[in-house]
């Protein structure tokens, strides 16, 4: 059987993969929601959903650093990676261990494509279609509710020391737009480092501090409030802005709470 991944790489599989190693947390959760938990043999230490998974599966490292020998010992039929979350060195090191499927996600259409790909590879097409439909329905319902609303300008922080924000050409930026906001760093690329005196930052009416990858806390709100007392500053659930698998089913109801 031949399949392609999102980099148009060809994967050759002898049969439906029964032993899966996932190096991407959002994709691990997607596998579980596709009914494939029993087939997962290895995950990263960041695969925190569902919570019990790391207790029953082999933990093979993180998303940027892996134990290659541990992965080999698991004898996987397929290894699931992501272009952004896993390094080129990691992916190259897995060559010859098992077929590697690489995702590359920038928008919701890419997410739907990935879910469909998994449905086909693991022969769970109906469950994949159901998840896609759920996300699409949630999205449509939310967009209808906010259609007449003005878009507040927002800055979305992902890191501190140095301060870093999500800009264009990222999945987070797509979700900022989906949530009904305008990203003040739209003209920048990827995840630029910024100074707290940045001119674009001053344009934002709202500042979002993501719960991941940097664990922003209330003290960081107070720190930024000292610079921007007039702005709305809040910690947001980073998973619902950046996880592009089945967790998207929860994103739009969450976005509604941010608009109130």
Q: Where are the alpha helices (DSSP H) in 65-124?
A: 68-73, 88-93, 108-121
- Output the CA torsion sign for 43, 45, 47, 53: positive
- Per residue in 71-113, pLDDT (tens digit) is 999 999 999 999 999 999 999 999 999 999 999 999 999 999 9
Calpha distance 182→180 (Å, rounded): 7
State if pTM tops 0.75. yes
Report percent pLDDT > 90 for the chain: 95
- Rounded to 5 degrees, φ, ψ at 32 are -60, -45
Assign 259 a pLDDT band (cuts: 50, 70, 90): confident
- Rounded to 5 degrees, φ, ψ at 81 are -130, 180
What DSSP state is assigned to residue 47?
-
CB-count exposure of residue 220 (10 Å: 0-12, 13-18, 19+): middle
Residue 148 has pLDDT above 90, yes or no: no
Calpha distance 65→54 (Å, rounded): 17
Calpha distance 247→71 (Å, rounded): 26
Residue 173 has pLDDT above 70, yes or no: yes
- Per residue in 190-209, pLDDT (tens digit) is 999 999 988 889 999 999 99
Residue 260 has pLDDT above 90, yes or no: no
The arithmetic mean of pLDDT across residues 220-232, rounded, is 95
Instruction: Provide the residue ranges of all domains of the chain, joining segments of one domain with +.
Output: 2-104, 146-259
Residue 171 has pLDDT above 90, yes or no: yes
The arithmetic mean of pLDDT across residues 168-174, rounded, is 97
Closest CA to 249 of 5, 29, 74: 29
- Output the CA torsion sign for 109, 46, 165, 145: positive
Calpha distance 97→194 (Å, rounded): 40
User: Do 2-104 and 146-259 share a fold?
Assistant: yes
Write the CATH number of the domain with boundaries 146-259: 3.40.50.1980
pLDDT on residue 145: 93
Write the CATH number of the domain with boundaries 2-104: 3.40.50.1980
Bigger pLDDT: 178 or 260? 178
């Amino acid at each position: 059987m031949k399949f392609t991944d999102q980099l148009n790489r060809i994967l050759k599989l002898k049969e439906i993969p029964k032993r899966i190693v996932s190096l991407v947390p959002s994709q691990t959760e997607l596998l579980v929601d596709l009914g494939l938990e029993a087939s997962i043999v290895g995950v990263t230490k960041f695969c925190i959903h569902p919570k019990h998974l790391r207790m029953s599966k082999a933990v093979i490292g993180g998303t940027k650093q892996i134990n290659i020998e541990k992965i080999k010992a698991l004898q996987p039929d397929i290894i699931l990676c992501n272009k952004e979350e896993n390094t080129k060195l990691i992916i190259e090191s897995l060559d010859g261990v098992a077929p590697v499927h690489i995702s590359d996600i920038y928008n919701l259409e890419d997410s739907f494509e990935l879910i469909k790909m998994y449905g086909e590879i693991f022969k769970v097409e109906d469950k994949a279609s159901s998840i896609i439909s759920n996300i699409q329905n949630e999205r449509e319902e939310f967009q209808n509710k906010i259609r007449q609303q003005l878009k507040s300008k927002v800055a979305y922080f992902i890191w501190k020391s140095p301060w870093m924000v999500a800009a264009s050409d990222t999945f987070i930026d797509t979700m900022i737009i989906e949530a009904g906001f305008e990203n003040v760093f739209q003209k920048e690329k990827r995840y630029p480092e910024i100074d707290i005196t940045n001119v674009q930052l001053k344009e934002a009416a709202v500042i979002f501090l993501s719960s991941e990858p940097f664990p922003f806390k209330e003290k960081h709100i107070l720190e930024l409030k000292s610079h921007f007392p007039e702005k709305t500053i809040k910690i947001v659930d980073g998973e619902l802005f950046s996880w592009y698998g089945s967790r998207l089913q929860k994103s739009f109801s969450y976005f509604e709470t941010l608009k109130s």
